[in-house]
Amino acid sequence: MPKPRPPMPVPFGWFVVSYSDELAVGQSRPVLYFGREMVLFRTESGRPVLLDAYCPHLGAHLGYGINESSGQGGRIEGESIVCPFHAWKFDAAGYCTDVPYAKNMPPKVVGKQCLESYPVVEDNQVIYAWYHPEGVAPMWDVESFEEANSADWAPLQRFEWTIKTACQEMAENGADSAHFRYVHQTATFPETELTYEQHYSLGVQKADMQTPRGMVKGSITSKNIGPGQGFTRFEGIASTFLMGNVTPIDDETVHVRFAFTQPLVDGEVKTGGVNAAIIRDICKQLDEDKPIWENKMFRPQPVLCDGDGPIARFRKWYGQFYAESFSNA
Ligand code: FES
Ligand SMILES: [Fe+2]
C-alpha cells in the first residue's frame, strides 16, 4: 500500500520565520514557508519585512543575488528592497517605488501592490509572520513572554528539525496521552488537563521525570496559541521555559524550532547537571516522535479506546485554523 500523504492544508496563524539575531539591518534572504517563495529583509530603520519573492518585472527572486553589503539577496535602501536583476525598488507594503532607468514608471505598477506583504511582528527574540491563504488579516495578537525578553533569563538555547509531516499531526501529540508511556518511556501516563478555548490550547500536566538523581515530581504548563506558537513552562527540577515553534514549509514538511531558556543564578547561566538534562530529554522526545510522524498515515476516523487522550476534541479545535474545507474528524 503506498503511503498516503497528509491530507491537511497549510493552517493559518502566526509562525516564526526567523530568530531576530539571524536578520541584521540591511540584510535580505530567501525564505520558503507556507509553500511560498518569499524574501525576508530588515530595513535601515530596523523593521523586518516579508514579501512574496518574485519580481513583477522579469521574475527574479528578490532573495537571491550577490550583494556586497549583506552577502546575499536584494540590497536594502532605506525602507525598501532593490531587485538584484534590474534594480526595481519595492517598499515594505510591496509597492514598486522606483524603476531607476525608466523615463516613465509602467502604469501597471504605479500605485498598486505588486508583491504580497505579510504582517510581521518581532517579539520573544523571533520574527513572526501571519499567514492566511486568502490574505485575511491577523485574527489574534502575538503575545509577549517575559522569559524570552528578560536579561534575568539565559540566552536561548536553540535546536531545530525539518520533519516530513503536517503541523496538525505534530500538535496531536499533546492530546495523545498514551504515546508518552510507549514512545517516550515515561514512568506513568501523564495526568494532563487540556482545555481548548478559542485559538488556545492550554495544558496542565503533572509528570514524573527521570533525572540523574532519580525520579522527580514535576509539572508542565503549556500554552499553544494557534498552530505555530507553543510556550511551555517546566517546573520541578530546573525551571525551564520552552518556545516550541512549528512553521509549515509546505503541506507535508514542517520546520520545528525549540528555544529554551532558564533563569540565571547569581547572574550566571547554569549549563550542567539537571539544567542540561531536562533540555536533552525534551529534545530526545522530539527525536523519538519524528520517525512515527514521518511514516504514519492520517486516520480521519481512528479507532480509539477509553485510555486515549482527547484526540477528537483536539481535532475539532485544530480544524478552526483551516481556510479550506478539510474533513478533520
Ligand atoms: S526582474 Fe526584478 S528588476 Fe527586473
Ligand atoms: Fe511525543
d(CA 287, CA 283): 6
SS (H, E, C) 8-52: CCCCCEEEEEEEHHHCCCCCEEEEEECCEEEEEEECCCCCEEEEE
Band (pLDDT 50/70/90 cuts) for residue 329 is low
| Domain layout of the chain by residue ranges | 13-131, 146-321
Report the length, in residues, of the chain: 329
Q: How far is CA 199 from CA 224, 230, 251, in A?
A: 8, 12, 21
Q: Helix or strand or coil: residue 60?
A: coil
- The tens digit of pLDDT for each residue in 76-100 reads 999 999 999 999 999 999 999 999 9
Out of 133-142, 182-191, 296-305, 316-325, least confident range: 182-191
Neighbours of 5 (CB within 10 A): 12
Residue closest by Cα to atom 1 of ligand 1: 58
- The tens digit of pLDDT for each residue in 25-76 reads 999 999 999 999 999 999 999 999 999 999 999 999 999 998 777 678 999 9
pLDDT beyond 80 at 14: yes
Ligand 2 geometric centre to CA of 178 (Å): 10
Of all ligands present, the nearest one to the C-alpha of 281 is 2
Number of H helices, E strands in the chain: 4, 18
Ligand 1 atom at minimal distance to the Cα of residue 60: 1
d(CA 227, CA 12): 7
Band (pLDDT 50/70/90 cuts) for residue 117 is very high
Arithmetic mean of pLDDT over the chain: 93
- The tens digit of pLDDT for each residue in 244-258 reads 999 999 999 999 999
Q: Which CATH class is domain 13-131?
A: mainly beta
As a CATH number, domain 146-321 is 3.90.380.10
Residue closest by Cα to atom 4 of ligand 1: 86
Ligand 2 geometric centre to CA of 107 (Å): 54
pLDDT beyond 60 at 223: yes
C-alpha dihedral sign at 18, 22, 26, 30: negative
Of all ligands present, the nearest one to the C-alpha of 64 is 1
Mean per-residue pLDDT, 260-282: 91
pLDDT beyond 90 at 190: no
Q: Which long-range contacts (CB under 8 A, 24 or more apart) does 64-71 make?
A: 64/30, 67/28, 69/26, 70/24, 70/26, 70/27, 70/28, 70/29, 71/27
Residue closest by Cα to atom 3 of ligand 1: 86
- For residues 130 and 274, the model is more confident at 130
- Tell me 4's DSSP state: P
The set of protein residues with a Cβ atom below 6 angstroms from ligand 1 is 55, 57-60, 83, 85-86, 88
Model pTM? 0.94
Backbone angles phi, psi at 116, to 5 degrees: -65, 135
Contact 242, 260 (CB under 8 A): yes
SS (H, E, C) 262-296: CECECCECCCCHHHHHHHHHHHHHHHHHHHHHHHC
d(CA 1, CA 8): 20
Question: For a substitution probing ligand 1, which of 83, 96, 109, 114 has the most ligand atoms within 8 Å of its CB?
Answer: 83
